[in-house]
């Protein structure tokens, strides 16, 4: 075999992104958004991500998989429901993997009841396999937001058990099993048998965002800064509420980098400033920012909404060079968000530490229509390019020097 043949095979196997994964969540509720924010399964571009994850399906108290979104139940007058349309993405790109995510917040369904009961867990495992077979999907993602809360330590132990049982059933079918975790700094090592957990997962997705929000903080702060600001005291909560700390937590806990996937937010978290003249991070907050026209949720805005606001010209955008993320303000409204530059910094960090790749939450808040003049999906596309690029970003090198000097 000559060199060009080998290179050709390598390129085919590794794809355009050097063998890294790009896992993209589709929030099925985006199909109900109004106007230009309305996002249908047909808006998904199947060539941009390696894995697409449908969020969320529920779990009933009997251990069945439950379709939460109204559109998942659409009539069958020849029309496919959204799960079927989602699964059909693979027809447009055979290399793509389609997963569904179960879980979400405590109290939304019977998930935690099922996790705590071995009989029901066995039912859930059986139903999960049947669900994937029925829809020709490739795997399950478990979104575990309970973490030592609702059901305490036992619940988390039983969760590790569920992951093991799912894995045993999935291995035979070659289904993928992933799980997404938020910040575990306060109880991660205490409640989880981390090696057992990780051993049974194909990928562990780090939800490195929503770290500081208007409901958790009385000062404005970016929800997903790459680094802490250097004036923050070590061990202080803010010191830990950054992407570096999230990744480092899992690496130090023994997670192999090759299974870790870095979560990137395509939205911002917003605040209402208590004093419109005080706009730097750490300034007093009067609560969440006003809801946007599409996502309609106080305290956050999709990137598509942020971009439209910035185009209105009334916003001031600042690059925070300590945290390596941008923020923007106008009047009493303040947004901490990510743009192509901050995403490139985070992706650089992921590459430097040999992570498996990146996760996008979520594709439906990118500028998927391309109305802002940078093509369709500008953030996702730029993230792909950054993941693929061999260039080293100068900014991060500087920050590492500064970081190692931090007491």
For binding to ligand NAG (CB under 6 A), which residues are involved? 16, 117, 119-120, 182, 207, 209-210, 234-235, 267, 297, 300, 375-376, 381, 384-385, 388
For residue 403, the Cα-to-chain-centroid distance in whole angstroms is 25
Nearest distance from C-beta of residue 281 to ligand NAG, angstroms: 18
The smaller minimum CB distance to ligand NAG, of residues 18 and 74, is found at 18
Q: Is the peptide bond before 56 cis (omega within 30 degrees of 0)?
A: yes
Question: What DSSP character marks residue 223?
Answer: S
**Nearest in space to 205 (alpha carbons), one of 250, 164, 162, 168:** 250
Q: Is the peptide bond before 338 cis (omega within 30 degrees of 0)?
A: no
The smaller minimum CB distance to ligand NAG, of residues 132 and 351, is found at 351
Nearest distance from C-beta of residue 344 to ligand NAG, angstroms: 12
Nearest distance from C-beta of residue 312 to ligand NAG, angstroms: 22
Integer angstrom CA distances of residue 116 from 42, 53, 100, 153: 38, 25, 22, 11
Q: Are residues 346 and 356 in contact, defined by beta-carbon separation less than 8 angstroms?
A: no
The smaller minimum CB distance to ligand NAG, of residues 109 and 175, is found at 109
The smaller minimum CB distance to ligand NAG, of residues 170 and 368, is found at 368
With CB atoms as reference, the residue minimizing the distance to ligand NAG is: 375
Tokens read off for 107: 């109290």
Nearest distance from C-beta of residue 376 to ligand NAG, angstroms: 5
Nearest distance from C-beta of residue 4 to ligand NAG, angstroms: 15
The smaller minimum CB distance to ligand NAG, of residues 16 and 254, is found at 16
- For residues 200 and 162, what is the distance between their CA atoms, to the nearest angstrom? 10
Nearest distance from C-beta of residue 282 to ligand NAG, angstroms: 21
Query: For the chain, first and last CA: distance in Å?
Result: 54
Question: What DSSP character marks residue 50?
Answer: S
Pairing state of beta strands 139-144 and 176-181? parallel
The smaller minimum CB distance to ligand NAG, of residues 3 and 77, is found at 3
The smaller minimum CB distance to ligand NAG, of residues 132 and 363, is found at 363
**Nearest in space to 344 (alpha carbons), one of 326, 369, 367:** 326
**Nearest in space to 260 (alpha carbons), one of 352, 186, 340:** 352
The smaller minimum CB distance to ligand NAG, of residues 81 and 270, is found at 270
Q: Which residue carries 């049947």 as its tokens?
A: 130
Nearest distance from C-beta of residue 220 to ligand NAG, angstroms: 16
How many other C-beta atoms lie within 10 A of the C-beta of residue 33? 20
Say how many CA atoms lie within 13 Å of 203 toward its Cβ.
27
Nearest distance from C-beta of residue 235 to ligand NAG, angstroms: 4
């Amino acid at each position: 075999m000559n060199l060009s043949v080998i290179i050709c095979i390598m390129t085919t196997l590794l794809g355009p992104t050097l063998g890294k994964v790009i896992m993209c969540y589709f929030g099925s509720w985006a199909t109900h958004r109004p106007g230009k924010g309305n996002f249908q399964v047909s808006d998904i571009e199947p060539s941009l991500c390696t894995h697409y994850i449908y969020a969320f399906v529920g779990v009933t108290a009997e251990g069945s998989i439950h379709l939460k979104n109204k559109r998942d139940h659409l009539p069958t007058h020849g029309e496919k429901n959204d799960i079927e349309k989602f699964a059909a993405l693979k027809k447009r790109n055979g290399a793509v993997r389609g997963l569904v995510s179960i879980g979400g917040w405590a109290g939304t369904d019977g998930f935690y009841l099922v996790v705590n009961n071995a009989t029901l867990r066995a039912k859930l495992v059986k139903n999960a396999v049947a669900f994937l077979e029925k829809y020709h999907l490739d795997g399950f993602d478990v979104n575990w937001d309970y973490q030592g809360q609702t059901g305490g330590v036992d619940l988390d132990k039983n969760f590790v058990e569920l992951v093991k049982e799912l894995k045993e059933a999935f291995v035979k079918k070659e289904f993928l099993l992933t799980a997404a975790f938020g910040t575990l700094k306060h109880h991660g090592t205490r409640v989880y048998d981390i090696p057992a957990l990780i051993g049974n997962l194909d990928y562990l997705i780090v939800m490195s965002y929503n770290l500081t929000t208007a409901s958790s903080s009385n000062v404005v702060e970016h929800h997903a800064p790459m680094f802490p600001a250097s004036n923050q005291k070590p061990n202080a909560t803010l010191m830990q509420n950054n992407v570096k700390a999230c990744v480092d937590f899992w690496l130090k806990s023994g997670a192999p980098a090759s299974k870790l996937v870095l979560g990137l937010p395509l939205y911002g978290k917003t605040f209402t400033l208590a004093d419109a003249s005080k706009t730097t991070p750490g300034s007093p907050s009067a609560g969440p920012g006003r809801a946007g026209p599409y996502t309609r949720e106080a305290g956050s805005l999709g990137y598509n909404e942020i971009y439209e606001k910035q185009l209105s010209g009334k916003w001031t955008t600042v690059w925070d060079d300590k945290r390596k993320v941008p923020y923007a303000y106008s009047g009493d409204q303040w947004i901490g968000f990510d743009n192509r530059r901050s995403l490139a910094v985070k992706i650089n960090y992921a590459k430097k530490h040999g992570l498996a790749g990146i996760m996008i939450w979520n594709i439906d808040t990118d500028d998927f229509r391309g109305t802002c003049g940078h093509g369709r999906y500008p953030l996702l596309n730029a993230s792909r390019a950054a993941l693929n690029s061999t260039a080293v970003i100068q900014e991060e090198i500087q920050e590492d020097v500064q970081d190692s000097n931090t007491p």
